[in-house]
Structure 1
Amino acid sequence: MIGTDDGAEARRKSFIVLLFAVLLAAALGSSAGIFNDGDVSWHLATGQWIIDHRAIPDTDPFSFTWGGKPWVPIEWLAEVVMTGAHRLAGYSGLAALVTAALIALNLLVTVNALRFVPPWAAAAIVVLLDLILIPMMLARPHLLAWALLAFWLSMLLRARERDRAPPLAAALLIVVWVNLHGSFAIALVIAAAFGLEALLTTPDRARALRQWGLFGLACAIGGLVNANGIDGVLHPLTIANLEMLPLIDEWKPSNPRTTPFFFVASAFGALLAWQGRPKLHPVRWLLLALLLGMAMMQMRHQAVFAIAAAMLVPAGCAGLAGRPAGRLLTVVAVSVAAALVLVRAVLPITLPENSANPWKLIAAVPPELRTQPVLNGYSMGGPLILSGIRPYVDGRGDMYGDELVVGYKRITEGNAAELDAAVRRWNIRWAILPPRYPKLIALLDQSPQWRKIHQDNIGAIYVRN
């Protein structure tokens, strides 16, 4: 069994764990690795477009292959927040936003764990959680939604402890969430699971049905209060039916080779849980099993499972004499967190030069080519958009659809017929490609129709003769 610790010494240790969680999140949020994704750039470009036009686009304003066609920007609120941080303090401001979101997540998870388990166990939980999240710690909207998920679970746990549904006003969080990130749909599933648990365990089932039914209705209505209308609600479901999902890394099934942290941390987490002998209602075990299944089927759901497990499993260890740090010490920890966020906003940060941030390579593009149709690397699409160049494709694969993305995949695999068809259809005049497409690069190098005009360690630029 996990040991316990009592009295002032335990509260002191709890405070140390809170500070540790804050410092860990601050260190992770300060890493330049949070910008290692080309999607960061098109999210910033979208936020800039929304602020400049004071409207939310319903058609694509960026690419030449989909320009003017329907687009559902379900993450518009996150993009506006990201752009606001970027305008205030550049990429340091964006790093500060990421740091604040990670600190909020770690604090919520740690404070919740300290209610039920000893400080050392709470520290282990937050470390294992962050290990799982590290590969997904990117300056993108999904990261901002993590703290919302932890807060949502904390609120539901406390509501069940009081044997009541959360207040109807709590459904306002769904209004924010649905405009921030598509994971709001999972929040509704989690709330439904807690409502079912209440119906199965509460003697007064009529009261439980009335309270949780009203709360569920309020959440459903909240989901409809979004800038994209019914499309914003249905969009996460339409994405799940796309054939091209297996071509995108984050939609691929989990496996130890690509995401070893998830499997190692989950194994240690299972061992820690076995030590604590958590007693969870069967509905909660089923919920965790569902989320684990989703995580195994698609890597992008690993974060949801990890956060849910970090919040729910400690609650089943209520007999282990958890020791909260106390209100005053918690306020001190939050104050330290705020100071660290401000420091992060002031200190400069250097972006890594790679295919997600190919700024020197883009600077080498001749002015006369910048307005011409281009065949670009997938991760380079976002930086091209932020540079004012219309890409062939970018990280909005769900918008482009199966035909274009699957065809693009064939092109990158060196399919000459697919390349010729795309060149004729779109009158492609140049290409900017990373080394990760060796077959396509070899095809261009061998073709008399293409000529390389620039190359560095990030990629190469070709023009069509």
Structure 2
Amino acid sequence: MTATLAPPPAPAAGPTRAPRGPRRWAALLLLGGALPFVLVALARATRFAEGDTYWQVATGAEILQRGTTSLVEDDSWTAAGTPWHPNSWLYDVLVERAWALGGWAGLGWWTVLTVSAVGLAVALVGRGLGASAPVLTVASTVAAVPLVVWLSARPQTVSYALVVLVVGLAGRVLAARRPTRVAAGALALVALTALWVNLHLAALSGLAAVGAGAGLALLAGPGRALLRDRSAWPAAAAALARAAAVVAAVGLGCLLSPLGTGILSAAGHTAGASVEIIDEWAPLWRAKSYLVLTWVVALVFLLVLVAAWRRGARAGAVPAWLPYWVGATAALVVGGLGAARFSPMALLVAVPAVAAVVPLLRPARLPWLASRLALALPVAVGVAVLTVAVTDLPDFGRPGSLFPTAATVAAVPDGCRVLNEYDEGGLLTLLRGGDGVLVSADGRNDVYGTATLRWTETLMRGHDGALAALAERGVGCLLLRPDRPLVAQAVAAGWQVTARDDARVLLVAP
């Protein structure tokens, strides 16, 4: 599989693979450069902070029970009867199987598996580009720092692995010369993209990255050669045909889901319902600091690729694959300006290429520095991560401190309609949905819509008539942060506090 994921560098222009012998053992110990992500995976599994995972488990169970991905909302009192289609139906089914097989521990190991897959994808493609394991480890460690908050048990994490693999495989097909290899690579791209789009609708971002990369590669290579020498048109035509085959293959793969050609409207609906209220969908100029940090690091990695291209051009030794990777990374960096969620994709796509071109920049004492950093950085990260993992080991896979405790959730009366915080609705549905408990929201903002979510937020802020509005809709439970103004109003109106923990307070109507 390694040989089909990314084009090898030109012998005279690109970096070479690490020598055999002792360095091979070092590469194995570093997991080929994936070690930083594996360490992050262990920490994220013991500090579970992803609320969407729980409604995805419930959705996966519903898909298996009904045998369809066309669902009707029945877990909430705010959107009951609304038809909807999950954007990650296959992921939902798989995470439900992890839950069914192992419960909380199953979710923990699922997190370890999916986050580690991101590192393995980066290492696989990076090694295919000729990067050494030590340099890959250093680049991955730098990238992992802003990515920690993005990596958890959610379909986006699978997308991070698959965008690297799809971009890498597409680059390999672009570099192929035999028609049989191009055809086989295109079929593999169709299959890989089809898997991705069923796991997560974000596969469309792969189409944008591959298209931009292929376009820049054409302009920088065959296009430029054609301007200099008209007799180069046969080679340019062949390159254009390969690029068209690659883009068409990824585009076809994006259509191979239950949504079919409706994928564009579904993606537009999700974006429209998210941009105003979901942090990671916010444009960069109003995004939170950690989102901006991810984009800035991605931009720095892109600038490293551009610098390597310029230096290689002056020396007449630009790797043939470099313009493609610059274009693919740039497309996602630009996408991150409009929606911060594309920034981690841009950063991860850049990591393998950056690790491969670092030798082109010829920093002093590179092998010595890379080998030492490859040891020191993972050790430093590993100590911090393992400290967290060991400390929180009893909570492996369990909801973190941001969620209500099991005792608080269990105290919700059967059949109660609950006004709850946005992130915990899925946990309530997973644990108490079978008892008839209905939530106000659970993270599926595309199902509820912006207006409904803003209305429930207004209720929690205690606007005039909030309790009366809840009574009209039969809402008898509040599971909110203790500092919510509505909590004080409810207590004054005679609502009874039946459970409380560090994160939430549960009140029941008189």
Give the TM-score of the pair, scaled to structure 1: 0.81
Which of 332, 351, 356 is 2:398 aligned to? 351
Offset at 1:449? 5.5
1:29-178 paired onto structure 2 within 5 Å: 29=42, 31-33=44-46, 35-114=48-127, 115-162=129-176, 165=182, 166-178=185-197
2:421, 2:477 → 1: CA distance?
A: 12
Residue 281 of structure 1 deviates from its aligned partner by 5.5
Cα deviation, residue 315, structure 1: 4.7
CA shift at 1:146, angstroms?
Answer: 2.0
Mean CA deviation greater in 152-161 or 392-401: 152-161
Aligned-partner SS, 1:461: strand
Query: Match for residue 187 of structure 1?
Result: 206
Report which stretch shifted further, 156-165 or 373-382. Answer: 156-165
1:376 to 1:171, Cα distance in 2 relative to 1, 3 A: same
Question: What are the superposed Cα offsets for residues 140-163 of structure 1, whole Å, 9 maximum, x if unpaired?
Answer: 111122221121122122223335
Change (3 A) 1:408 1:187: same
> What stretches of structure 2 of length at least 5 have no aligned partner?
1-13, 223-231, 313-317, 368-392
Aligned letter for 1:401?
A: G
Q: CA deviation at 1:348?
A: 8.3
Distance 1:364 1:178 in 2: 39
Distance 1:288 1:216, change over 3 A: closer
Conserved? CA contact 1:163–1:198, under 8 Å: no
Per-residue CA deviation, residues 183-234 of structure 1 (Å, 9 max, x unaligned), is: 1000111221233235332352333333333443343333222123333442
Letter of the structure 1 residue corresponding to residue 278 of structure 2: I
- Tell me which of 313, 317, 327 is aligned to 2:354: 313
% identical equivalent positions: 24
- 1:304 to partner: Cα distance: 0.7
Question: How many residue pairs align between the two structures?
Answer: 436
In structure 2, what residue type is equivalent to 1:74?
N
The one-letter amino acid paired with 1:149 is V
How has the CA–CA distance of structure 1 residues 233 and 347 changed in structure 2, closer, same or farther, with 3 Å as cutoff?
A: farther
Separation in 2 of the partners of 1:283 and 1:170? 16
Aligned runs of 1:241-320 on 2, under 5 Å? Answer: 241-242=272-273, 245-253=275-283, 257-259=289-291, 262=294, 269=301, 284-317=325-358, 319=360
Whether contact under 8 Å (1:153, 1:311) holds in the other structure is no
Cα distance in 1 between the residues matched to 2:154 and 2:505? 27
- Asked whether 1:379 is paired with 2:379, we answer no
Q: 1:76 to 1:424 in 2, by over 3 A?
A: same
SS at match of 1:106: helix
Match for residue 464 of structure 1? 509
Q: Which amino acid aligns with 2:277?
A: L
Asked if 1:396 corresponds to 2:447, the answer is no
Q: Is the 8 A contact 2:98 2:110 kept in 1?
A: yes
Contact kept, 8 Å, 2:139 with 2:351, in 1: the verdict is yes
Change (3 A) 1:267 1:104: same
* Aligned mate of 2:254, from 201, 208, 223: 223
Q: Secondary structure at the match of 1:375?
A: strand
Distance 1:274 1:10 in 2: 29
Change (3 A) 1:228 1:264: closer
Which residue is equivalent to 1:445? 491
Change over 3 Å in CA distance of 1:150–1:261 after alignment to 2: same
1:124, 1:291 → 2: CA distance? 22
The structural deviation recorded for 1:422 is 3.9
The residue that corresponds to 1:360 in the other structure is 407
Q: 1:270 to 1:218 in 2, by over 3 A?
A: closer
Cα drift, residue 9 of structure 1: 4.6
Counterpart of 2:508 in structure 1: which amino acid? V
Distance 1:264 1:179 in 2: 30
**Shift in Å at residue 274 of structure 1?**
8.5
Moved more, 261-270 or 101-110: 261-270
- Greater shift, 71-80 or 453-462, is seen at 453-462
Check 1:67–1:180 CA distance in 2 against 1; reply closer, same or farther (3 A cut).
same
* 1:117/1:320 contact within 8 Å kept: no
Alpha-carbon separation, structure 2, partners of 1:10 and 1:453: 61
Q: Distance in 1 between matches of 2:298 and 2:159?
A: 21
Retained in 1: the 8 A contact 2:419–2:479? yes
Quote the Cα distance in structure 2 between the aligned partners of 1:420 and 1:356. Answer: 24
Q: CA deviation at 1:442?
A: 3.1
Q: Which residue number corresponds to residue 28 of structure 1? A: 41
Paired with 2:252 and 2:171, the residues of 1 have a C-alpha distance of 22
Q: Which amino acid aligns with 2:82?
A: K
* Matches of 1:365 and 1:100, distance apart in 2: 33
The residue type equivalent to 2:403 in the other structure is A
Q: Check whether the contact 1:92–1:347 (CA below 8 A) recurs between aligned residues.
A: no
Distance of aligned partners of 1:138 and 1:195 in 2 relative to their CA distance in 1, 3 Å threshold: same
Counterpart code for 1:137: L
Long gaps (5+) in structure 1: 324-345
Flag the 1:20–1:232 CA change in 2: closer, same or farther, 3 A: closer
SS of the equivalent of 2:80 reads coil
- How far did 1:245 drift? 2.8
1:276-327 Cα distance to aligned partner (Å, 9 max, x none): 667675664454333223334433222211111113334545758999xxxx
Shift of 1:91: 2.4
Change (3 A) 1:455 1:229: same
